[in-house]
Amino acid sequence: MKEIKISNLNKEEKILYIIKENFPNLSSSILHKALRNKDIKVNGKRINNSNYSIKNNDLIQIYIEDSLLFGFPQDLHVQYEDENILIAYKPQGILSNNETKEQTEPTFEDFVKSKKGENIKICHRLDRNTSGLIIFSKNDFAYNLLFNAFKEGYIQKEYIAYVYGEFNNNKCHYENFLLKDEKSGTSKIYDKNVKNSQKIITDIYVKNVYKTKNYSILKVIIHTGKTHQIRALLSHLSHPIIGDSKYGKNEINKKFKKYKQMLFAIKYTFNFPKSSKLSYLNDISVCLNKDLYENKI
């Protein structure tokens, strides 16, 4: 059971809107079924009216299975697995892992553990609404090597981004500086070093430009993994990712009817030192199935 305590409403809102706003991955069919079955309560009273109005100080209680409420897939999509690592596909809208002890929302790491066992440990993260491949370790020795590999740049990460406008920049290699605002949770990009900023290195290549619809598809390779690096940089370059509510523009997202950033982690390649016990991974590239990121607009 999950609860929503209502506050700061400017006007009464329908219960459907409130629940979908809090649980965007919940399918409409499951939500309507829960209402029909009276699996939703407001202030302790069972509700079956989809037009029921919610006001400040109301308490909504939702009796829907977590996997359905948060939009988890039925099956785990594993792209690569051996005795040390597992690489799996995370859909949009799901947290990679819990960053604080206070968080109780089920995560993709929880989901993978439920399918593959408690020894599985996530080695990095993707933003909630970024989909794509995530690397997990299957033992402590692999976790330590992978954690260090991300720090040392032994793992190259490749993304596909759908961005607004015709991306005609001739430059493909970008060296900028990122400053994270801890209060807002956003990052700002600068062309020169500023106090407390971190250097970021990014390569951007144009795959396609669609002039009639005014958008481009980019291949992005990051050599540093800083908070919102790709999303903030593309916004700084005046080509925000379509669907990005934090760094994009509402009118653009409405035009394309996309409300989650069109950013996909599609490929990992490895460059471990020859002495590393994971150096065998240098011979492979792990790529996401194209149907999970192509032709999305």
- Produce one character per residue of 176-202: b if its CB has 16 or more CB atoms within 10 Å, e if not: bbbbbeeeeebbbbeeeeeeebeebeb
| pLDDT at residue 24, rounded to an integer | 82
| Predicted confidence (pLDDT) at residue 246 exceeds the cutoff of 90 | yes
Q: Which CATH architecture does the domain made up of 78-152+265-292 adopt?
A: 2-Layer Sandwich (3.30)
| pLDDT at residue 83, rounded to an integer | 97
| pLDDT at residue 29, rounded to an integer | 93
- How many CA atoms does the CB half-sphere of 100 hold within 13 Å? 2
| pLDDT at residue 213, rounded to an integer | 97
Two domains, one topology: 78-152+265-292 and 159-261: yes
Kindly tell me the sign of the dihedral angle through the C-alpha atoms of 139, 73, 228, 203.
positive
Mean pLDDT score of the chain: 94
- Is domain 159-261 classified as CATH 3.30.2350.10? yes
- pLDDT band, residue 211 (cuts 50/70/90): very high
Provide, rounded to the nearest whole percent, the portion of the chain with pLDDT above 90: 86
Residue ranges of the domains in the chain?
2-68, 78-152+265-292, 159-261
pTM: 0.87
Which amino acid does the sequence have at 28?
S
Q: Write out the H or E segment, with its range, that includes residue 88.
A: strand 85-90
| pLDDT at residue 104, rounded to an integer | 74
3-state secondary structure of 22: helix
Task: Give pLDDT tens digits for 51-84.
Answer: 999 999 999 999 999 889 988 988 999 999 999 9
| pLDDT at residue 257, rounded to an integer | 94
Residue with tokens 């799901």: 94
| pLDDT at residue 101, rounded to an integer | 66
Least confident of 40-44, 99-103, 137-141, 200-204: 99-103
Both tokens assigned to 15: 């219960």
Just list the catalytic residues: 127
| pLDDT at residue 99, rounded to an integer | 72
Q: Which CATH architecture does the domain made up of 2-68 adopt?
A: Roll (3.10)
- pLDDT band, residue 45 (cuts 50/70/90): very high
